[in-house]
Chain A
Amino acid sequence: MTATSDLTTGAERPAFLSRFRPRGAVWLAAPAVLVLVVALAYPLAIVVVRSFTDPVPGIDNYIWFFQSAVNRTVLQRTFVVAAWVTLVSLICAYPYAYAMTIVGKNVRLVLILCVLVPFWLSGVVRTLAWVILLQDSGVINSFLRGLGLSPVKLIRTPPGVIIGMTQVLLPFMILPIYSVMKGIDTRLLQAARSLGAKPWRAFLQIYVPLSLPGVYAGAIIVFILSLGFYITPALLGGPRSILLSSLVQNQVLSLLNWGRGGAMGVVLLVATFVLLAIAAPLMRQKHTSTRREA
C-alpha cells in the first residue's frame, strides 16, 4: 500500500543494529573452536581414518559390519529404542512444560528444580537407582506382587532401557519446549476464542503449532543423545537389548579392534545426518522468515 509500505515492520531489525558489527568479533568464538577441534574434530578424523585403514586399507570393516546379522539387528534396535525414548519423553515433557508456563512463580521454581536436580546427580547413580526400582525383586515388582499381580520383567529388557533413558533425557526435551512455550503470546488464544474457537480448538490450532519449534528441537536432541547413550542401556539392558554404543565399546576396549569400532561409529554418524536431513524441512518455520516479495 502506498501510504504504509515504507514503514518498517516490527519484525525487522533496524538497519543501525545490523550494521553494528565490530571487526574481529569472530575471535570471540576462538576458545570454543579450539576445544572442539582438539577434543572432537581431531579424534573424529582419526576414528574415520582408522575405520578405512585398520588393520588393512579398504572398506573391509564396513563390509564386516553389514554382513553381520547381529550388527544390523543392533543398529535397527538402537534407532527403535531412540524413537521410543523420544516419543515417551515428548508425551511426558509437553504437558510438563505447558504446566511450567501457566503456574505461579513459586510452583514454577519447584518444577524447574525437578528438571534440573537430576542434572546434578551422576548418570551412574541415577541408573543404579533404576536398577533397584526395576529389578525382578525390585520396588516395582514387590508392589505388583503385593497387589496380587504377576511380576513384570523390566530389567534387561528394552522397555526397562527406554524407561531409564527417558528419565535421564527428559530435561533435554522439557527445556527447549518450555523456552519456546514461554514466548508464545497466550493472548492469541483469547483472540482465537473471540473469533469463535472453543478452548481446546484454539489450543490445538494456535498454541500447538507455535510450540512445534521447541518440540522439534527437543526431539532431535533427545533422539541423537539416545543413539549414542552408553551407561544407562549398559546397566539396565540385557543381551537382548544391547545398543550400538555397547558394541562399539566391546570392539574398541575388549577386542582392541579400532577399525571395526570406528566403522560402527561412522555408520551411526552418517545415519544420524541422514535423519537430520529428512527432519530439517519440517523444522523450517515459514513465519520466522523475513523474506519479502517484490
Chain B
Amino acid sequence: MNAPQRSTGAAIEIRKASKRYGAFTALNDIDLHIRPGEFMTLLGPSGSGKTTTLNLIAGFTDISSGALEIGGKSVTGLPSHKRNIGVVFQHYALFPHMTVGKNVAYPLTLRGIKGDDRERRVKRALDMVKMADFAHRYPNELSGGQQQRVALARALVFDPPLLLMDEPLGALDKKLREWLQLEIKRIHRELGTTFVYVTHDQEEALVLSDRIAVFNGGRIEQIGTGRELYDNPATLFVGRFIGESTVLRGASDVSGNDTIMTIGSDRVVAHGRLAGDARPVMLLRPERVALKRAGADVVTGENRLSGTIAEAIYLGSGSKYEVRLNDGTIAVVRSPLGASDFAIGDSVDIAFMPADLILLPDDASADVTLT
C-alpha cells in the first residue's frame, strides 16, 4: 500500500466558544464535538463563522471565551506551529520558490526527518494524490487542481491526526471539483485522519461528510448527517440551505394533531403541530411534489395547490419546473424522466401528501441570509 499509514484521528471538543473582533461577534457561543476519524463539514454562507471556527482550531486566532480541546488536550494559547495539524487553503499556499518535492518535504525537514526516510515519505504522499511524476516541477507550472493535490500531500505527509480544509476546491471548475471530492473522500477513508472541511457549497458537503454543522450568523443551527439535515431540518434556515425547497406561508390553524394553512384560496394540511406559539411555515422538497393537470388525477388525502407553470427547465435526467401558485409563491418541482411535459403558461396543480410537508417555525432571517 502506497498511502501513509492509517493514523488515529484526533477528537475535537469545542465548548461555549466565542470569537469577538471589537464590537463584532464572529462566533457566538458554539458547541461542537468532532469524533476521531470523522469527516465533519462546516457549512454556511460567507460570514457565518465557519472559517473563524477553522482558524480557531488551526491556531491562527485565539478564542475570546470558551474551551477548545484537540485530542483531549486544551490548546488554548498553543501557537499553530506546535499543534501538528495539516491545513489546506483555498489559495493552495504552495511555496513558489520550492519544487513540488521540496514543498512536500518541508514539514518533514522542520521535524528533523532527513535522507531516505524523508524521500520515501514524500514519494508516498505524492503517490497518494497521484502527483509523483511532478516532484521536480515548480508550483506555477501546475494547474489549480494539481496544485491543490500537492497542497493536500504536503498537509498529510507528516501524518497529522487532524486535517483542516478551508474551501479547498473553491477556485476550481465544476468537473475537477467533483473528481477531487471523490479523491478527498478516498484519502479520508484510507487514512483514518479526522477531517474538518469548510465550504459554502451544500452539495459538496453532502458528497463528502459524515456529519455537517450548519453555520448561520456566528451560531451553529444544526449538526447532523446529510440525511438528517435534509429530512428533518431543525430550522427554516437549514431547510432552505440544504437542498431545494418551496416555503409555504399563510394563516394557519391547528386541528387535532394537524396544522392547516390557508394559501390563497386553497387549504393545506400537514401532520403535526409546533410547540409554543411560533408562526408555522411549511417546507416542501421538490421531489415530493407531483405535477398534475388542473383538477386531474385526484388522490384521497393529498394536498393540492393550483397555479401556472412559470419556468420549465430540461435537465437531461428529468425536468425542473417553477410553478407560480395563486398567492404568488413560486414552488419548485422536479419531475423524473418520462413524466408528462408541461409548457410555460399551463394551468397545473401541485400535489403532495401531508406527511411530506416539513413544519417549521417561521424565521425571517432565513430569507435575508440566503440572498
Chain B 88-115 interface mask (CB, 8 Å, partner A; 1/0): 0101010111100000001100110000
Report B16 CB to chain A, min CB distance, Å. 25
Please report the C-alpha to C-alpha distance between residue A1 and residue B127 in the assembled complex, in whole angstroms: 12
Please report the C-alpha to C-alpha distance between residue A201 and residue B107 in the assembled complex, in whole angstroms: 12
Chain B 42-81 interface mask (CB, 8 Å, partner A; 1/0): 0000000000000000111000000000000000000111
Do A287 and B139 touch across chains, with their CB atoms under 8 A apart? yes
Cβ contacts under 8 Å, A206 to chain B: 95
Cβ contacts under 8 Å, B91 to chain A: 185, 187
Task: Spot the interface stretch: B142-150, B263-271, B275-283.
Answer: B142-150
Report if A188-B93 is in contact (Cβ < 8 Å); known contacts: A7-B144, A195-B110, A292-B141.
yes
Please report the C-alpha to C-alpha distance between residue A289 and residue B97 in the assembled complex, in whole angstroms: 11
Q: Out of A3, A4, A285, A293, which one reaches B97, CB within 8 Å?
A: A285
Is A192 among interface residues, defined by CB-CB distance under 8 A? yes
- Bin chain B's interface residue count: 35 or more
Report B325 CB to chain A, min CB distance, Å. 44
Cβ contacts under 8 Å, B140 to chain A: 9-11, 287-288, 290
Do B85 and A4 touch across chains, with their CB atoms under 8 A apart? no
Chain A 56-71 interface mask (CB, 8 Å, partner B; 1/0): 0000000000000000
- Please report which residues of chain B, range 297-331, place their CB below 8 angstroms from some CB of chain A when the two chains form the complex: none
- Bin chain A's interface residue count: 35 or more
Cβ contacts under 8 Å, B85 to chain A: 194
Report if A7-B143 is in contact (Cβ < 8 Å); known contacts: A194-B87, A195-B106, A196-B84.
yes
- Please report which residues of chain B, range 322-346, place their CB below 8 angstroms from some CB of chain A when the two chains form the complex: none
Q: Out of B138, B143, B158, which one reaches A196, CB within 8 Å?
A: B158
Report A15 CB to chain B, min CB distance, Å. 15
- Please report which residues of chain A, range 238-294, place their CB below 8 angstroms from some CB of chain B when the two chains form the complex: 285-293
Cβ contacts under 8 Å, B111 to chain A: 196
Is A106 among interface residues, defined by CB-CB distance under 8 A? no
Please report the C-alpha to C-alpha distance between residue A197 and residue B60 in the assembled complex, in whole angstroms: 13
Is B179 among interface residues, defined by CB-CB distance under 8 A? yes
Report B94 CB to chain A, min CB distance, Å. 8
Cβ contacts under 8 Å, B186 to chain A: none
Count of inter-chain pairs, beta carbons less than 8 A: 101
Please report the C-alpha to C-alpha distance between residue A209 and residue B95 in the assembled complex, in whole angstroms: 10
Report if A187-B89 is in contact (Cβ < 8 Å); known contacts: A195-B110, A196-B84, A196-B158.
yes
- Please report which residues of chain A, range 158-197, place their CB below 8 angstroms from some CB of chain B when the two chains form the complex: 185, 187-188, 190-197
Do A1 and B137 touch across chains, with their CB atoms under 8 A apart? no
- Please report which residues of chain B, range 212-252, place their CB below 8 angstroms from some CB of chain A when the two chains form the complex: none
Nearest chain-A residue to B140 (Cβ)? A11
Report A231 CB to chain B, min CB distance, Å. 39
Q: Out of B86, B110, B141, which one reaches A197, CB within 8 Å?
A: B110
Report if A290-B141 is in contact (Cβ < 8 Å); known contacts: A196-B110, A196-B158.
yes
Is A8 among interface residues, defined by CB-CB distance under 8 A? yes
Do A198 and B141 touch across chains, with their CB atoms under 8 A apart? no
Is B154 among interface residues, defined by CB-CB distance under 8 A? yes
Do A193 and B93 touch across chains, with their CB atoms under 8 A apart? no
Cβ contacts under 8 Å, B82 to chain A: 196
Do A193 and B81 touch across chains, with their CB atoms under 8 A apart? yes
Report A153 CB to chain B, min CB distance, Å. 45
Is A221 among interface residues, defined by CB-CB distance under 8 A? no
Q: Out of B58, B96, B145, B154, which one reaches A4, CB within 8 Å?
A: B145
Please report the C-alpha to C-alpha distance between residue A185 and residue B95 in the assembled complex, in whole angstroms: 10
Most buried by A among B83, B110, B144, B146: B110
Do B107 and A196 touch across chains, with their CB atoms under 8 A apart? yes
Is A210 among interface residues, defined by CB-CB distance under 8 A? yes
Report if A9-B176 is in contact (Cβ < 8 Å); known contacts: A1-B130, A195-B154, A196-B158.
no
Cβ contacts under 8 Å, A187 to chain B: 89, 91, 93
A contacts, CB < 8 Å to B? 1, 3-5, 7-11, 185, 187-188, 190-199, 201-202, 205-206, 209-210, 285-293
Give the 3 A-B CB pairs with smallest separation, nearest first. A11-B140, A191-B93, A195-B107
What are 28 A-B contacts defined by CB distance under 8 Å? Answer: A3-B176, A4-B143, A4-B145, A7-B144, A9-B143, A9-B144, A185-B91, A185-B93, A187-B93, A188-B95, A190-B93, A191-B87, A192-B106, A193-B81, A194-B58, A195-B86, A195-B110, A195-B154, A196-B81, A196-B111, A198-B81, A205-B106, A209-B97, A286-B138, A287-B97, A287-B138, A287-B139, A290-B141
A7-B173, A202-B81, A210-B97 known; 13 other A-B pairs, CB under 8 Å? A4-B146, A7-B145, A7-B176, A188-B95, A194-B155, A195-B81, A195-B155, A196-B111, A196-B158, A199-B79, A206-B95, A285-B97, A290-B140
